[in-house]
Amino acid sequence: MPGIILCLAIFFSLSIQVFAAEVSVAVAANFTAPMQKIAQAFEAETGHKAVLSFGSTGTLYAQIRNGAPFQVFLAADDETPTKLESEGLGVAGSRFTYAFGKLVLWSKQPGLVDDKGEVLRSGAFQRIALANPKLAPYGAAAMETMTKLGVLQSLQPRFVQGENIAQTYQFVFTENAQLGFVALSQVYADGKMAQGSAWMVPDNLHTPIQQDAILLKKGGDSPAATALMQFLRGERAKALIRSYGYGL
């Protein structure tokens, strides 16, 4: 009997290795932390490994257009996946919204950012960071916010611009900028805000940050890519997404 059990264990172990595969995933930089956790859970549950590449939505889009071997794309907006689908680079009908992002004005310094964002008017800082609005939807949302508040022109000379939201966060974290517009998921996890001070930007100050995923044509025949798309819709992934402050 022990021999039979050992043989069965070896058989199932080999079966998982035979059927397990890798999926190449392009991920918007704001979703770095939750996607790393999701990838771990995905591999534990399915045996498939998600190989992640992070960057601004605009940069990743350009790479996909130029033939990058990505199979799944998690964007920071809904427009870019829609464009890829219309251009024939995404699998028709595979696109869905996996999260709604939240913009936050954050500083590593306690007390610098008040809970109403009045610091933007008082100007009690030298530099403010934001992501490139032409490449990063969170940067575009930051520009909309400052425009609606009527402070864009006065703040522009103080801008420190990151290529993506990850670089923007680093500017604030290293205090090369005293404050900046970042994704809530970068400073929030498991119901707790990171060190420093923050203002949660009201949703009515910018276009909703609807983040869509799409199965790319290069992943259309990949069981691992299809499995990841299904996993992202599941309760385990949703719980991880919510834990970083995203809406569903």
pTM over 0.85: yes
Mean pLDDT of 167-184: 97
**pLDDT at residue 7 greater than cutoff 70:** no
Lowest mean pLDDT segment, chosen from 66-70, 143-147, 187-191, 230-234: 187-191
Candidates 2.40.40.20, 3.40.50.300, 3.40.1830.10, 3.40.190.10; CATH matching 103-200 = 3.40.190.10
For tokens 């919204």, the residue is 97
CA dihedral 180, 181, 187, 193 (to 10 degrees): 90
Q: Do domains 2-100+209-243 and 103-200 have the same CATH topology?
A: yes
Considering the chain, what percentage of its residues have pLDDT values greater than 70? 92
| CATH number of the structural domain 2-100+209-243 | 3.40.190.10
**pLDDT at residue 46 greater than cutoff 50:** yes
pLDDT tens digits for 188-236? 877 778 889 999 999 999 999 999 999 999 999 999 999 999 999 999 9
Three-state SS across the chain?
CHHHHHHHHHHHHHHHHHHCCEEEEEEEHHHHHHHHHHHHHHHHHHCCEEEEEEECHHHHHHHHHCCCCCCEEECCCCHHHHHHHHCCCECCCCCEEEEEECEEEEECCCCCCCCCCCHHHHCCCCCEEEECCCCCHHHHHHHHHHHHHCCHHHHHHHEEEECCHHHHHHHHHCCCCCEEEEEHHHCEECCEECCCEEEECCHHHCCCEEEEEEEEHHHCCCHHHHHHHHHHCCHHHHHHHHHCCCEC
Mean pLDDT of 42-64: 97
Residue ranges per structural domain of the chain: 2-100+209-243, 103-200
For position 1, what pLDDT does the model report? 53
